[in-house]
Structure 1
Amino acid sequence: MELNKTVGKSISRLEGKLKVTGAAKYAAEYKVDDLLHGYVVSSPVTKGKITKIDTSRAMAIPGVIEVLSHENRPKLAWFDLQYMDMDAPPGTVFKPLYDENILYNGQPIALVVARDFETARYASAQIDFEFEEEIFQTCLEDNLDKARPAKKGFATALKPPPPPPTGEFETAFANAAVKVESEFQHGTEHHNPIELFATTTVYEGKGKLTIYDKTQGTINNQLFVANIFGLRYKNVRVLAPFVGGAFGSGLRPQYQLFLCVMAALHLKQNVRVVLDRKQMFSFSHRPPAIQKMRFASDMNGRLTALGHEVVAETSNFEDYTEPTASWSHRLYPAPNTLFKHKIVPLDVYTPMDMRAPGGSTALHAIECTMDELSYKLKIDPLELRLINYSDVDQASKKPYTSKALRECYLQAAEKFGWKDRNPEPRSMKRGNKLVGYGMATGIWDAYQFPARVQLMMNSDGLLVVNNATTDIGTGTLTVMTQIAADELGLSLENVDFRYGDSKKPFSMFQGGSAITSSTGVAIVVAARALRKKLLKKAAEMNSSPFKKAGDEDVFFESGNMHLKKDPAVMISLKDIIAFNKGIPIKTTNMGKPHMLKLRKYSLATHSASFVEVEVDQDVGTVTVTRAVTAVAAGKIINPKTARSQILGSMIWGVSKALHEETIMDAKLGKYMNANLGEYHIPVHADIGELDVIFADEKDELINELGTKGVGEIGLVGMPAAISNAIFHATGKRIYKLPIHFDELI
C-alpha cells in the first residue's frame, strides 16, 4: 500500500528560518538577569611554573568581582581524582587552575570575573605573573626518537589499534614486481567552528544549575559537571538546542565549561564565559602526522604487500590516537601487510577528533600511493582500484553489510567524464593553465550508538519526540521529524522533536556520523511500541473494529489508524487519546546496535571522488574547478540535507589539501596564526562546481532504518583526489599537505 511518506524527500531544514533571521539562540546569547562575565587569562609560557601572581591592580578596577587562579580557587575533590568524559583518551585529563605547572602555551591560568565583558577583558591584562620557564618540545619531526605505542583506554573500542601483520611483508615488498615507497607529512589543523566556545551558567540555588553550553553532547557535559562538582545529576541541566558548528571540537567538555561553573558556584551568581578565537587554538586540533607508505603489486596490478606506518602527535598528559594505519587493508586485499601507529608526547594540548579523525589523514596517503602505483604500472587509476576491489573487509575477514563502492566509481566517473582524460601528465591544458584529473576512494565507519527516545501522542494529535541529542548544523531536527512522522503516519507539522537538553532521554554525543542511525533507530523502536499501545487502546473502545486486529493488520496514515484489509475502516489518533480521557499515550524505548547479528559483518560507508584542477604555469596557483563525489551510505533520509553534508565535506577536502595549516613556531612553542585572518580556509572564489551522487545502496542488515552516516564520508577522499589531479596536471608528486603554490613553480 502506497503511503504518503516524507523519508527520502528533500525537506528544507525546519529550523532554517530561525538561524538565518537570528532568532536561534546560541550559548552566549541567552538573556540572563544579574549576569557576571568571566574572561580567561592564557599562559604566554609554553612550559614551566607560575612563581608569583599579583592581582591587586586588576581587583582595584571598578566592576571586577573576583580573580580565580590555582592559589585561591575552590577546593574540589576532582582535583585529586581522575574523571573521564565519554571521549577521553588514556592518561590524566587536563585540570584548569590545578596547580602552578604550565603544560602548554595558551593554558588557562586565571579567570577574571566582572560585571561586564569589557571590564573583565581589560582587567585580565592588569594581572602581574612571574614564571620559571622550562625547556619544551613542540615539534613532531624533531622528536621522532620518542615515538611509542599508545596506551589502551576507555576510547579504544571506537579507536582500535592497527590490525596485526599478515604474511611476510618485508620479503614480499623487497621481491615485488612493482612497488612504491613514500613518506607523507600532514600539518596541524584547528576546528574553527563559527560559534565561539561559550558557557552560560544560571545559578538556581540549592546545588541546582542550568547551563547553556556549546557542546556536541549535553549528557556528556552533565555527567562531567555533576561528577567534578559533587552535584546530583538531576540538579545539573545542560542545554544546547543550537550549535554553530563543532566538527569534533565539542565532543569533550572544554575548559570554559569548568571555569564558568566553578565561578558560578563559588560566587553563587549567574556567570558567562566566552573564549575568543585565539583561545580556541589552545585546544581542539587535528594532530600533525608522518606516514610511511610501502605498497607493492604484481605486473597485473594485484596488490601483494601493504605497509602503512604512522607517527603522530599527542600531549604529555594524554595518549590521543586515531585510526590511521588501519584503513589500507579495509579497502584493499593483500596477503602481506604491516601496519603500525606510534605517538610522540609533546608539550601541547591533547589533540582532538576532527571531522573524519584518522580517516582523512590516512586516505590521503593511501590513495596517493595507489595513484603513484597506477602510473608505475601504466594502469588507469580507476582500473587499478577495480582490480583490487573486494566485498570483504580484509582486516577482519568479514563481509560488509553492504558495499556499493563499485557503483560509486562508475557513476561518478561517468558524470565527471573520466574517460576523456589523457593519462600522460602535463598533457592537458586550458590556455595558460595545466589541467589535471584525479580520483580517490573514501571509506568511513558506519557507527550506531545506543539511544533512548520518548514518544508521546497528545490529545491534539501532536506527536512529541524527546531525546537529548544535539544538532550541530547537520539537519538532525529535520530528519528525526521525518522519521517520526512516517512511523505514525503524520504530517511534519504534527511532530515536535525536542532535543538539545540533558533532561531528555539518553543520547551519546553527536559525532562519528552516527546520530541518524542512533536516535533515528530509537525513534523507530519507540514508534513500534507506541503503535501497539494505540492499537490496544483502540480495541477497548465500544464496538471497535480493531478488537481482533494485530500489529500486522493496521497501518497509520494522515493521523488515522486504518485496517489494511479495509482501509476505509479507520479511527483518528485524536479520538483514541480522547477515549483515554485526554491523557497522552507515551512510551520510552532504547534503540541499540544488533551486536550479535552484526558481529559477523564489517560496517562502513564508501565514496569515490573525482576532481579537476587548473594549475597556473607561471605562478603555480591551484584552482579546483570541479569535483564529483558519489556516496554509498544506505538509505538517505533527506537528500537535501545529506547533499549539504557531502558538499560541506568536499569543501573541507579542498581546504585540507590547499589551505588549512596551523603554523607552530618550535622556538616559541606556540601557534603563530591563531586567527581567521591567517589561518587560511576557502572563500567562495576558491570553490568550483561541485556535484554529489548517492548510489542506490539497500542495507537490510545494518539497522532498522538501513542508514549510514554522511557527515564525514564526503571529506576523506577529496584531499587525495586533489593531490592526484595536481600530479596529473604538473607531473610533480607533492607529499605534504597543504600543497603550497611555491612547490609547483
Structure 2
Amino acid sequence: MTGKAVGTPMSRVEGRLKVTGGATYAAEHVIPGLVYGVIVSSTVSRGTITGIDTSKAMASPGVLRVLTDFTGVRLAFDSRQVNFFGQPVAIVVATSLEQAEHGASLVQMSYATQPGLTDIDAPAAVPQPAPGNPDYSRGDADAALHSAHTVVDNNFTILRENHNPMELGSTIAQWDGGKLTLWDKTQWVQGTQREVAAALRVAVEDVRIISPFVGGAFGSQGRTWEHQLLAAFAAREVGRPVKIVLTRKQMYTGTGYRPTSRQRVAIGADADGRISAIVHEARTETARYAPYAERLTELSGFMYGGPNARTQYRLVPLDVNLPTFMRGPGLSTGAFALESSVDQLAHELGIDPIELRLRNEPTVDESNDLPFSSRRLADCYRTGAQHFGWQQRSPVPRARKEGNLLIGMGMAVGAYHAFGSATDVLARIHADGTAEVFTATSDSGPGTYTSATQVAADALGLPTSRVRFTLGDSSLPRAPVHAGSQTMVSVGSAVFTACNALRDSIVRMAVVDPASPLHGVKPDDVSVDNGRLYVTADPGRGETYQQILGRRGWPSVDTTQVWEPGDVGSRFSSYSYGAVFAEVSVDESLGLVRIRRMFAAYDAGRVVSPKLAHSQALSGMIQGIGMSLLESTVLDHRDGRVVNANLADYLVPVNADVTELDAVFVNAEDTALDPIGVKGLGEVVMVGVPAAIANAVFNATGRRPLDLPITLEKML
C-alpha cells in the first residue's frame, strides 16, 4: 500500500468539531417532546423486592410515570430479584431532569434480603471453569519446576478498576409507530441494534442506532447495558422520547469494570536463564447471573520459549454486576504477574532482564505450533533500550539515590492478539470529484475517522480533504465491534478493498471509452493522483474523475465490497508487541512512588496515522500509571456498595502524575494478516505498563510489588 496520506502525521479530521463543541454526543441530540428518565438503583446486593412505594414520587411536580415492572424488556438478569448493589429497580420519567431526579429520590423500596457474597477471597467464593478458557498444558511444568536450578513462585493481587470515561452512559430513545431510534453511546452500533431488538422483541430492521461520537469508553461500551434497554422500554411505555444518562456513581455498577484478580505465577530456569517451566494460575470475579471471562493466562503460553507450561483460569461468581472489557482486557492483568516474575527471575540469576528475554525468544508460538505472522519484539527491546538509556541502569536495587529519593529503572513486555472480522464498506465517487466512504463502525477516540480517511484517500488517489468517512449508524454496511484492536485490521482492510475496487472500475470505464484520453490503455498501466487518472509512463495523458462521470451524466458511482480475514488465524500466530521502559522515584520516608519518565517501542504493524498512534501510546502509558499506582474500586462487602464511586475518591492520573512519556514504532508491516499490513494498537499500549513500573519500583527499593495499585502504605 503506497500513497501520500498513509504514514503522514495527520490531525484528526473531526478534531475541530470536538474542540469547538460541534460534535454531538449521545445526550446532546435535540429531540422534540423529550422527557427524562432517572434510574432508581437497589441498595442491597442480593434479595427480593417486597414493596415499592411510588406515591410520593408520582405526586411530585413533573413526574409522568414511575416504572417498576420490567417484564416488558428482557434484561441480562432476573429483574424480579436483586442481583447486585446498584441494580436498576425503577425508572422515574419526568418533564425535566431535575424533576426526574427528585422523583427518584422519593421512591421507597423494601427488600427481603439474603446474605450477599461479594468478596473473591471469601471461603464461600467457589472458583468455576471459565467458558472458552480450557486448561492448557505442554510437557510437565510442575515436575520441571521441582528440578529447575532457580524457581520464582509468587501470588499477585489486582483490585477492581472502573473505566471512568469523560462521557457518561447516555441514551435517547424515540419510537415512531413500531420503529425505534436510539441516539446512544456505544462501541458497536449493530451489536446494540441486535441486542435492543431481542430485548424488546422487535425486528432488527425496526431498530436504528445512531452514535457518531463517543466521549471515551476504553471497552465500557463494548456491550449493551441495562440503561440502554430501559431507555427504549421507558419510551415505549410513556409514548414519548426518553433520555437516560447515568450518574457518575451509577457508572460503577452500570457499565462493567476490570475484574479483581488473584494470580500465581511460577517460573523455573537453568543457571543460564533458559526457562524450563511456566505455571500460571488465575481467577477473577464475575457476576453470579452471567459469566465474563478474559484471556488472562494467554501470554504465559507463548511469550517465552520452553518445553513445559501449564495455565489454569477460573471464574468466581459473586453477587456483583457484570465485569467487562477494559483496555488490554485480561492480558494487561496477566502480563503484570508474568512480567514481574520474569524480572525477578532475571534478578535472582544475575542476568540483565532484556538479555534473559532474548535468550528465551521463541521461533514459533509454542502454545499452538503456529509460525508468527510477524514478531519484531527483539527490535523493540533494542530500540527501546537505546532510546531509554537502559545501559545506565544498575542491576543492584537501591544503588541509585537522589536525596531522600530512591531511583529505579524497569522494563516489561506486552502483547495483544491481532485479528480481524468481516466488514462491508460502501465507497462512492461524486461527479464533483469528492468521495464518501461508509461503514457502521465506531470511533471511541483512537482516530478511526482519520485513519480510515487516510486509507481511502490513498486507494482512490485523492487528497484527504476530498474524502469523507461516515460511521456510527446501524443502517450503514456491516462492521464489527469497535474493540479488541481489530478496527483498522477489519475496517481499514475493507476500506482499502472497496476504494481499490471503485478506483479500478472507473479506470476500466475510461480505458474502454473512445472519448477518453485513456482509451485502449491497459488498466494496470493507469495511475491516479489528486483525482486525475493518467498513463503511468506518460503522465500528460489522462483525465479526472469529474470528466469521466460528467461525460456519462452520472451524479456518482459506487461499490460495496466485503473484506474477510479468511483462514489467517489458523495458519499464523498474530500479535502486536511492545517493550515498555519506566524510571521511578520512591520517597524512602513516605513510600510515595512517582513516575519520572517512560518510553516504549511497539511492533504494531504498519502505522497508518503516526500522530494518532503516538497519542494512543501515551494514553496507554497513562492508563497503565493509573492501574499501577492509583486506581482501585473498593467494595463494602457487607452490602456490596462501591464506597468510592466518584472521581474524588477513585483516583485517576492527572497532569501532575504524568511526566516525560514517549514512544516509537518499529517498521513492521504484516501483510500476512491483512492487505494494509496493520496489526492493531489500542490495546497493546496498555499491556506491560504496570509490570514495567512495578519492576522499576523493585529496582529502586529492593521490594517486589505483588499487589496493584502500589500505594504508599505498601512501600513503608
TM range (shorter): over 0.9
Q: Secondary structure at the match of 1:398?
A: coil
Checking the alignment, whether the CA contact within 8 Å between 1:48 and 1:134 is kept in structure 2 is yes
Is 1:121 the counterpart of 2:101 in the alignment?
yes
Which residue number corresponds to residue 38 of structure 2? 39
Cα deviation per residue 1:126-169 (whole Å; 9 max; x = unaligned)? 11211111011100011476112123xxxx4xxx545x211122
**Mean alpha-carbon deviation: is it higher for 618-627 or for 2-11?**
2-11
| Structure 1 residues 99 and 470: CA distance shift in structure 2, 3 A | closer
Q: Secondary structure at the match of 2:323?
A: coil
| Structure 1 residues 140 and 563: CA distance shift in structure 2, 3 A | same
Which residue number corresponds to residue 14 of structure 2? 15
Is 1:363 the counterpart of 2:343 in the alignment?
no
Which residue number corresponds to residue 166 of structure 1? 138
Equivalences for residues 329-368 of structure 1 within 5 A? 329-368=301-340
Which residue number corresponds to residue 562 of structure 1? 534
Which residue number corresponds to residue 626 of structure 2? 655
Q: Work out the CA distance in 1 between the residues paired with 2:79 and 2:262.
A: 34
In the superposition, the TM-score normalised over structure 1's length comes to 0.94
Q: Secondary structure at the match of 1:699?
A: coil
Q: Work out the CA distance in 2 between the residues paired with 1:143 and 1:561.
A: 72
**Mean alpha-carbon deviation: is it higher for 598-607 or for 289-298?**
598-607
Q: Which structure 2 residue ranges, 5 or more long, are not aligned?
A: none
Cα deviation per residue 1:162-185 (whole Å; 9 max; x = unaligned)? 5x2111222111111111010000
Equivalences for residues 472-483 of structure 1 within 5 A? 472-483=444-455
| Structure 1 residues 736 and 491: CA distance shift in structure 2, 3 A | same
Checking the alignment, whether the CA contact within 8 Å between 2:419 and 2:673 is kept in structure 1 is no
Shift of 1:268: 1.8
Which residue number corresponds to residue 24 of structure 1? 23
Q: Secondary structure at the match of 1:401?
A: strand
Is 1:137 the counterpart of 2:117 in the alignment?
yes
Supply the AA of the counterpart residue of 2:573.
Answer: S
Supply the AA of the counterpart residue of 2:50.
Answer: T
Supply the AA of the counterpart residue of 1:340.
Answer: Q
Which residue number corresponds to residue 635 of structure 2? 664
Supply the AA of the counterpart residue of 1:214.
Answer: K
Is 1:109 the counterpart of 2:89 in the alignment?
yes
Shift of 1:231: 2.7
Checking the alignment, whether the CA contact within 8 Å between 1:391 and 1:403 is kept in structure 2 is no
Shift of 1:285: 0.7
Supply the AA of the counterpart residue of 2:597.
Answer: R
Is 1:741 the counterpart of 2:700 in the alignment?
no
Which residue number corresponds to residue 76 of structure 2? 94
Supply the AA of the counterpart residue of 1:108.
Answer: P
Checking the alignment, whether the CA contact within 8 Å between 1:537 and 1:580 is kept in structure 2 is no
Is 1:202 the counterpart of 2:201 in the alignment?
no
Q: Work out the CA distance in 2 between the residues paired with 1:329 and 1:253.
A: 32
Q: Work out the CA distance in 2 between the residues paired with 1:414 and 1:579.
A: 58
Q: Work out the CA distance in 2 between the residues paired with 1:322 and 1:124.
A: 36
Cα deviation per residue 1:593-650 (whole Å; 9 max; x = unaligned)? 131x452210000000111000111101011100110000110001000000010000
Q: Work out the CA distance in 1 between the residues paired with 2:104 and 2:569.
A: 54
Q: Work out the CA distance in 2 between the residues paired with 1:497 and 1:582.
A: 21
Aligned with residue 379 of structure 2, among 402, 407, 414: 407
Checking the alignment, whether the CA contact within 8 Å between 1:356 and 1:712 is kept in structure 2 is yes
**Mean alpha-carbon deviation: is it higher for 239-248 or for 387-396?**
387-396
Which residue number corresponds to residue 609 of structure 1? 580
Shift of 1:230: 3.0
Cα deviation per residue 1:513-562 (whole Å; 9 max; x = unaligned)? 11111111001111222123212322343343434334422111011111
**Mean alpha-carbon deviation: is it higher for 383-392 or for 106-115?**
383-392
Which residue number corresponds to residue 306 of structure 1? 278
Q: Secondary structure at the match of 2:103?
A: helix
Cα deviation per residue 1:681-730 (whole Å; 9 max; x = unaligned)? 11101111001011111322111000011101111111001000001100
Q: Secondary structure at the match of 1:282?
A: helix
Aligned with residue 253 of structure 1, among 224, 246, 249: 224
Which residue number corresponds to residue 285 of structure 1? 257
Shift of 1:581: 1.3
Supply the AA of the counterpart residue of 2:183.
Answer: Y
Which residue number corresponds to residue 273 of structure 1? 244
Q: Work out the CA distance in 1 between the residues paired with 2:339 and 2:523.
A: 50
Q: Work out the CA distance in 1 between the residues paired with 2:37 and 2:472.
A: 24
Q: Work out the CA distance in 2 between the residues paired with 1:416 and 1:532.
A: 46
Which residue number corresponds to residue 434 of structure 1? 406
| Structure 1 residues 633 and 179: CA distance shift in structure 2, 3 A | same
In the superposition, the TM-score normalised over structure 2's length comes to 0.98
Checking the alignment, whether the CA contact within 8 Å between 1:484 and 1:527 is kept in structure 2 is yes
Aligned with residue 461 of structure 1, among 428, 433, 440: 433
RMSD: 1.5
Aligned residues: 715
Aligned with residue 214 of structure 1, among 178, 185, 190: 185
Which residue number corresponds to residue 200 of structure 2? 229
Which residue number corresponds to residue 67 of structure 1? 66
Checking the alignment, whether the CA contact within 8 Å between 1:541 and 1:579 is kept in structure 2 is no
Q: Work out the CA distance in 2 between the residues paired with 1:139 and 1:698.
A: 45
| Structure 1 residues 144 and 168: CA distance shift in structure 2, 3 A | farther
Supply the AA of the counterpart residue of 2:82.
Answer: I
